[in-house]
Structure 1
Amino acid sequence: MTAPPLPASPVVPPSPPTPPARNRWHIAGVWALSVVLVVAAWGLTQVQKPDDAPYDSFVSTTTVGERATTRNLAVTVTRVRAARSVSDGDRWHADGTWLVVDFDAAAVVDQFGTLLATSNLHLGDRTYSATERGESARNMVLITGVPRHGSIAFEVPPGSLEGTATLEFAVDYDTDADGVIEVVVDLDQVAMQNEVTLDPEGWAR
């Protein structure tokens, strides 16, 4: 009687070759770089402003006597005066502590409905708007390429006209993502006078 054949041994596939050390380091580097890029992308999404967040203004900084230009505004502050009394040379007169700013201003690209809407004084941590009293160049109508001249006045607390102040001009009340002109003023160089008169609004010389 013939014995049955023994079952064949299962075939074991050979083990894949171990990648060289250089390839392992390359793969690890690619994974590390991918992780860094993902984290960076996540960080950018976290710092992005929401749709209703304000956007920074485009600021052009200058000094007294120097012209500055933004998108649709050109301004030159020609003189800064300090006084204990101010008038418009006509019917209005007021005592106090005043900073009077004489300036030339013009539109740059479009004069339709263009006004000097913003005229502020930043003094320390406080902001003052130009007074609405009297006849002044507050909200001056701007003409493209043809500067007009006038004065604005700021009433401030006694003893506050010292150090450095900044004047701010713009053609809109909302200056987010729009041009703003800032004029730096050394108040220590501005002598206090008893009384000053605002310059009448007219064409710049």
Structure 2
Amino acid sequence: MRRALPWLLGTALVLGAGVAVAITPSNTATTQAFLVHGDADEAATGRTLTAQVRDASFAERITVDDGEWDASGNWLVVTVVASAPRTEVGASIHLATLVIGDRTFQASERPRTSLLGADLRVGTDTVGMLAFELPPDVDAGVGELRLVTGYTTPHLDDVVVLPVSLDDLPSAAEIDVTEPAWEWS
């Protein structure tokens, strides 16, 4: 037994070290954003943003309401209802991405009437549109709309994640991306 004791202790130390390595988070995991997932029918609330997808549709062309700008392509236009949950300081969506599988698309900043950068209020919903220019082959599947109040994906902060099903969405020849508007419930 005396000869086996060092082997047993050595084996226990090696197993303990393996367990410690396996459960220790990576360097990137310790600074990642917290994903706050919502459902298709209800709003998700993070620290700085409350949001819900109201509607989505494809369009062959998008315009802005004064007719000064338009673009053709495979556009996904998502109508979002958003508000500030606690404070209006810095309350606006500055980064909106759509993740479909392993591909990520950023909301276009070209339509100046989109929800990007619109001021959000506490207790008052703002309804606005986000436009994503997608490749022609993207027209089905399930995506995640990720909304952030900062200009980059935050570290150690939250990201509101809302599901968007692209299957069976209506398609229009043209959609007018209207100015965000307040909505009282």
TM-score interval, smaller chain: 0.7 to 0.9
Larger relative contact order, structure 1 or 2 (CA cutoff 8 Å, min sep 6):
2
CA distance in 1, matches of 2:25, 2:129: 41
Query: What is the letter of the counterpart of residue 139 of structure 2?
Result: L
Identity between Structure 1 and Structure 2 (%): 29
RMSD over equivalenced CA pairs, Å:
2.8
Query: What is the letter of the counterpart of residue 106 of structure 1?
Result: S
Q: How does 1:123-138 map to 2 (within 5 A)?
A: 123-134=100-111, 135-138=113-116
| Alpha-carbon contact 1:168-1:183 (below 8 Å) kept | yes
**Residue in structure 2 matched with residue 17 of structure 1 by the alignment:** none
Structure number with the higher strand fraction is: 2
Query: What is the letter of the counterpart of residue 44 of structure 1?
Result: A
Question: How big is the shift at 1:35?
Answer: 6.3
Match among 98, 122, 145 for residue 144 of structure 1: 122
SS of 1:188's equivalent?
coil
SS of 2:12's equivalent?
helix
CA distance in 2, matches of 1:180, 1:65: 18
| Alpha-carbon contact 1:107-1:114 (below 8 Å) kept | yes
> Bigger CA drift: 149-158 or 56-65?
56-65
Q: Residues 119-157 of structure 1, C-alpha deviation per residue, up to 9 Å, x if partnerless?
A: 011123221111111221112222233221111101111
Q: Residues 154-178 of structure 1, C-alpha deviation per residue, up to 9 Å, x if partnerless?
A: 1111131111121111222232221
Q: TM-score, normalised by structure 2?
A: 0.81
CA distance in 1, matches of 2:164, 2:137: 16
Match among 35, 40, 47 for residue 71 of structure 1: 47
SS of 1:189's equivalent?
coil
Higher CA-based Rg: 1
| Alpha-carbon contact 2:126-2:180 (below 8 Å) kept | yes
**Residue in structure 1 matched with residue 62 of structure 2 by the alignment:** 86
> Bigger CA drift: 147-156 or 119-128?
119-128
Gaps of 5+ in 1: 1-23
SS of 2:20's equivalent?
helix
Distance 1:192 1:159, change over 3 A: farther
Match among 165, 176, 199 for residue 178 of structure 2: 199
Question: How big is the shift at 1:62?
Answer: 2.5
Match among 144, 150, 156 for residue 166 of structure 1: 144
Q: Residues 47-98 of structure 1, C-alpha deviation per residue, up to 9 Å, x if partnerless?
A: 4534x77623221222433211112211011110111011121122111110
1:108 aligns with 2:95: no
Q: How does 1:38-57 map to 2 (within 5 A)?
A: 39-40=15-16, 43-44=19-20, 47-50=24-27, 55-57=31-33
